[in-house]
Structure 1
Amino acid sequence: MAHSMDGQKTLQAVRKSMEESENEDSSAPEDCDTDEELCHFQDRLDPAVDDLSEDEDGSVPAASVKVDHVTSSSPFPKRRRTSPASQSTQPSSSWYSKEDADAGPPALMFRPARPPGVQLSSADRHTPLDLFKMFFSTDAVKTLCRNTNRRAAMHVAEGKKYKWTAVCVEEFYRYIGLVFYMAMVKLEHITDYWRQNTFFSQVLPPKVMSRDRYRTISWNVHMSDPDADPANDQNRGTPQHDRLFRLKPLLTTIQDACKAFYQPRRCLAVDERMVAVKAKTGMTQYMKAKPAKCGFKLFALVDCSNGYTVDFSVYTGKNDFRSGQGLSYDSVMSLMNRRYLGCGYHVYMNNFYTSPKLLMDLFSQSIGACGTYRDNRKGCPRPTSNAMSEQSARGTFRWIRDGPTVFVKWMDTREVSVCSTIHSAYKGDEVQRRVKSKGGKWTTKIFPCPSPVVEYNSHMGGVDLSDRLIQYYSAQHKTMKWYRKLFLHFLDIAATNAYILHEELSALVQKKPMSHKDFMEELIVQLCGCTRKYPQQSHSEHVPVPVNPVNPDVGKVASYGRRTCMLCREAGQRQNTPWKCQACDVPLCLQLTRNCFQEWHKKL
């Protein structure tokens, strides 16, 4: 109860802070030059980009990155600066090289809104279930139960052929436990978890709930109020229509909980996730570079140090551009809430998001940014003097500064372009690369590397870590409704963040944390209300007993109540026996020369 009260107070404080910040404008939109450019701007990421697809992730691998170099004959455009932080001299008309010193940007003081780390007392004992309930609280599950029961009642009234009894909070937690169990123990069909009398039979699912009960709950899981769904559907095509209505209020609850119980460390990264689904809802995206090529796109802010999901948003369509600057701009600005985070944070991103406009607006809010960029983005420098060519040697780099923003180009196996408002161009960093000589021999060589490239590669690993932790034991499986796919992703976020909180709390008390696998197993056991000890099977059931109880008044006891041996009958023989198996209820011979009892049970 103490954990629940502390968690509710923390959650309420964060919600109040978020509500106060809703009316604050994050930045002033940049004016477009013409009506034609405005129309182009609303449909594209940037007016200067003619052919950009949303499926490029732009990450910098350990060996190389391909960044398409686009030259332009147009003069460098003057940028409108509306904030004091962006007041600077025009960038140089020539690229600088390694030998030229860079003073670096003004330093940003790190002042987080709360002490970084877990916002829970390390003196208290937090079980996996306690940590999971920080995100899926009892109140949230009560709402889920209420809406699920209403949805099931509608289905029954429509003539659905199944029995329904109201689901309660305890049963819904057991249902979630089975969802996680199926994430760890993969079988082809749901019904396989309830198969009996085979070597592949599962022990836990039948003890938690019946197969039909699990399936009926899965068919009726509903996050929103079913009675309010039709009113929202009637507004489809109007500004009043909420595309995420069926995800609420659980979506808001998970978002608030992610922020309430953890204050991220300084370095953050913007992650782009895909939740695979084939439903045609108007919100699904196709991204050929992703493992899940079609589905819902989520923008997530993660802590680079441990992969914790700090905040996330669901992409609802290209019309959701609040500032007029495009999807890539708005997705980052909506996640970087200064009132919740504080100031002085560093955020890393790939070239889908990075633009000079975004970096300058973040810097005006005392937030540093670093990311790969595309040469044809508006505002990126394009001088030809002292520029690199395709024949430049490996390790060659050029840089140019525009106020707090430095743009660097580095030649690895291919050209890499990175800009930053955090770092200076070069601090003497070096990287090792395996190089093949003309004779075919591989050797290790050291090459100079610009600081933004080194730091980008170092911190964007937090995105990969976050994705791996979620995918290890993902609850995703086929569903009949699109919003239930996102419900399963919310479960993944809650379980993964709960495990990261467990790691952080263990580090505070200098205790070795459980492995991710052990944590999930313990969480499943606690959700289902079981114990981890495997129930011992009874071997006393398969014992020989008389076919019929012996009646002492019968004169011929030896032949009384005999039946034909089942095994002998299968072999085409007729042998009578007074013995049968107690469990199988099958008559079987039990003699020194003919032990059909033993042979029969070898086949089971």
Structure 2
Amino acid sequence: MSNDKISIIDPNFEDFVRSIILNEEDEELVKDLQTLTPGPSNLISIPGSGDQKTGGNSDIEFHDSDNDPDFTVDPVHEFSSESDTLSAGDISSDDDMRPPNSRPPSHIQIPEHYVAESEFVNTHPQLSSSTGFLQMELGESDDDMDYIISDDELNQAVSDWSDDEDTPLHMFDFPRINFDVTDDIPVTYLGKDDTEWYSEEPSRCIRTRAENTIRGLPGLRGPARTLGVKPSPIEVWKLYMDDQIMQEILLRTNNKLECERAKIDPHDKYKLRRLRPTNEAEIDALLAVFLLSAIMKGNTEDVGSLFSSGITGRPIFRAAMSEKRFEVLIACLRFDNPNTRAERRKVNRAAPILWVFEKFVENCKKLFAISELTCIDEMLIPFRGGTPFTVYMPSKPGKYGIKLMVLTDARNSYMYDAYIYSGKGSDGFGLTSEEKELKVPTQALIKLTNCIKNSGKNITADNYFCSVEACRELTRRKLTLVGTMRKNKKEIPQNFLHKKQGVSTVLYLDSMRI
């Protein structure tokens, strides 16, 4: 039967034996070891070989190697009395390399039930890196072999586990922790209505959002593409003021002239001639006078001054028509059916001009496709007539007039869509019942952007239109919004209402940011 044993040559092996080899049950052996003075002349024998297995309470015999003739041990190395350090060059497995007067060190024989402990020792580098030498013999059969630690292994072990207490911490292989990398937790800010804003931008490593995908190319389309490279101004004019609009104006204006003639004495030929029916060419001339007066900044000038033959007059106006005929046409100019006007006014107070205006806007959308950058704002047409929807806007140059809500191309100022503000509720005309529950500025945005929804275009607007509600509604329609917000909006966190000039902070809300 094989006799497993471990040979440890070390003048200070007490801690090894007590902490690694001995079981917790060998209390008596530990006490005897504590009273033992380690030296090269002492032998501790722990019997365990043979047919009888030795348990944890094995007897311990102490022998003096100088006086016991039966004691034999293979001397391996003589330790220096000046230092406990064993260099790699002092270890050799060749018997001829042993000093002639070497003195055998202590020898330990371990019973069989400690074989598991010896395997444990062999798998732990701290045992082989001690200042001593470990030799394991696994039986006495032909397969037995002696394992001698090589120089490279010993150098590596000594460098990893030094007995010097002043060894720097960086010599040990501690787990590396990157203290520079921390989990960035976004800071949350709450508005007055508990709207959550985040200090960290949402991840961009995602698929491009639908509202950021632009669909459709800008440029001419429809009948405008058939005009050629250099169309004449009258050809372009006819595309916007098409035959339907001109025929409607001509029909309603002649109906009004006929009604006025019926009130005149049949014998007053002068007045009857002034109220004669008009034609399409004269209507074109009337509209041309309107355009020229606006271009020449004379739209607020007195009519007599415009048609005067003096220094204030314009010859082109007198060439178009006389002053008296101009006044008659202005007085009788009509755009709708007077028989249904009262009923239509109950819905929209701009009914007298609504059909022609909407037809003109329809032609604007039909002839040109705007770019991806758009703008929505209000505009005031100066007018001091007696309409029920004349508004006063002190911030505008004209101050009084008719208010229009307009969608334009930000690149070329082309008007793409518009509607007349005719009073309270006019922003919600044509919207669903759910959309009418939204705020009025949001209703205006939805009404103007219905013609470009799902196109991915961007809208720029001022603080009257911009809000979190508007952003969400436009995002649902695959559009984006850029603009300023008023400080009285409940969605803005209180911390950002009072910022020093030149200091900016960015917050994120879903796909929005301020």
Measure the CA separation in 1 of the matches of 2:190 and 2:510. Answer: 22
The answer to whether the Cα contact below 8 Å between 2:460 and 2:483 also exists between their aligned partners in 1 is yes
Structure 2 residue aligned with 1:334: 447
Q: How does 1:45-444 map to 2 (within 5 A)?
A: 76-78=192-194, 90-92=196-198, 96=199, 103=203, 107=209, 108-112=211-215, 114-119=216-221, 120-121=224-225, 123-159=228-264, 163-185=274-296, 188-196=301-309, 198=310, 202-232=314-344, 236=346, 241-279=347-385, 281-320=387-426, 321=428, 322=431, 323-338=436-451, 340=452, 342-378=454-490, 380-384=491-495, 387=496, 389-390=498-499, 392=500, 394-407=501-514
Deviation (angstroms), 1:280: 5.6
Measure the CA separation in 1 of the matches of 2:489 and 2:498. Answer: 20
Measure the CA separation in 2 of the matches of 1:336 and 1:370. Answer: 14
Identity in percent = 17
Partner SS for 2:231: coil
Measure the CA separation in 2 of the matches of 1:388 and 1:374. Answer: 10
Computed over aligned residues only, the root mean square deviation of the Cα atoms, in angstroms, reads 2.9
Give the residue type in structure 2 aligned to 1:271. D
TM-score (norm 1): 0.46
Q: Which has the larger displacement, 126-135 or 304-313?
A: 126-135
The answer to whether the Cα contact below 8 Å between 1:283 and 1:296 also exists between their aligned partners in 2 is yes
Give the residue type in structure 2 aligned to 1:265. S
Deviation (angstroms), 1:314: 1.0
Q: In 2 relative to 1, CA 184–344 (structure 1 residues): closer, same or farther, beyond 3 Å?
A: closer
Measure the CA separation in 2 of the matches of 1:294 and 1:282. Answer: 12
In structure 1, the gaps of 5 or more residues are: 1-72, 80-89, 408-604
In structure 2, the gaps of 5 or more residues are: 1-188, 266-270
Q: In 2 relative to 1, CA 388–259 (structure 1 residues): closer, same or farther, beyond 3 Å?
A: closer
Measure the CA separation in 2 of the matches of 1:152 and 1:255. Answer: 28
The answer to whether the Cα contact below 8 Å between 1:150 and 1:226 also exists between their aligned partners in 2 is no
Give the residue type in structure 2 aligned to 1:312. A
The answer to whether the Cα contact below 8 Å between 2:463 and 2:485 also exists between their aligned partners in 1 is yes
Partner SS for 2:197: coil
TM-score (norm 2): 0.54
The Cα offsets for residues 434-480 of structure 1, whole Å up to 9 and x where unpaired, read as xxxxxxxxxxxxxxxxxxxxxxxxxxxxxxxxxxxxxxxxxxxxxxx
Partner SS for 1:91: strand
Q: Whose radius of gyration is greater, 1 or 2?
A: 2
The Cα offsets for residues 322-358 of structure 1, whole Å up to 9 and x where unpaired, read as 51212211111001125x5542110011110111011
Give the residue type in structure 1 aligned to 2:400. C
Q: In 2 relative to 1, CA 153–381 (structure 1 residues): closer, same or farther, beyond 3 Å?
A: same
Measure the CA separation in 1 of the matches of 2:466 and 2:442. Answer: 8
The answer to whether the Cα contact below 8 Å between 2:456 and 2:479 also exists between their aligned partners in 1 is yes
Measure the CA separation in 2 of the matches of 1:376 and 1:314. Answer: 27
The answer to whether the Cα contact below 8 Å between 1:138 and 1:169 also exists between their aligned partners in 2 is no
Q: In 2 relative to 1, CA 318–165 (structure 1 residues): closer, same or farther, beyond 3 Å?
A: same
Q: In 2 relative to 1, CA 319–184 (structure 1 residues): closer, same or farther, beyond 3 Å?
A: closer
Measure the CA separation in 1 of the matches of 2:498 and 2:318. Answer: 66
Deviation (angstroms), 1:157: 2.5
Q: How does 1:507-546 map to 2 (within 5 A)?
A: none
The Cα offsets for residues 9-42 of structure 1, whole Å up to 9 and x where unpaired, read as xxxxxxxxxxxxxxxxxxxxxxxxxxxxxxxxxx
Partner SS for 2:482: strand
Give the residue type in structure 2 aligned to 1:397. S
Q: In 2 relative to 1, CA 264–287 (structure 1 residues): closer, same or farther, beyond 3 Å?
A: same
Give the residue type in structure 2 aligned to 1:217. L
Deviation (angstroms), 1:101: 6.4
Q: Which has the larger displacement, 368-377 or 283-292?
A: 283-292
The answer to whether the Cα contact below 8 Å between 1:285 and 1:296 also exists between their aligned partners in 2 is yes
Deviation (angstroms), 1:189: 2.8
The answer to whether the Cα contact below 8 Å between 2:249 and 2:333 also exists between their aligned partners in 1 is yes
Measure the CA separation in 2 of the matches of 1:304 and 1:246. Answer: 31
Partner SS for 2:483: strand
The Cα offsets for residues 348-400 of structure 1, whole Å up to 9 and x where unpaired, read as 1111011101101111221011110023224x23153xx5745x3x4321121
Give the residue type in structure 2 aligned to 1:117. G
Runs of 4+ residues over 6 Å off in structure 1: none
Deviation (angstroms), 1:226: 2.4
Q: In 2 relative to 1, CA 195–275 (structure 1 residues): closer, same or farther, beyond 3 Å?
A: closer
Higher relative contact order (CA 8 A, sep 6+): 1
Give the residue type in structure 2 aligned to 1:308. Y
Deviation (angstroms), 1:219: 1.1
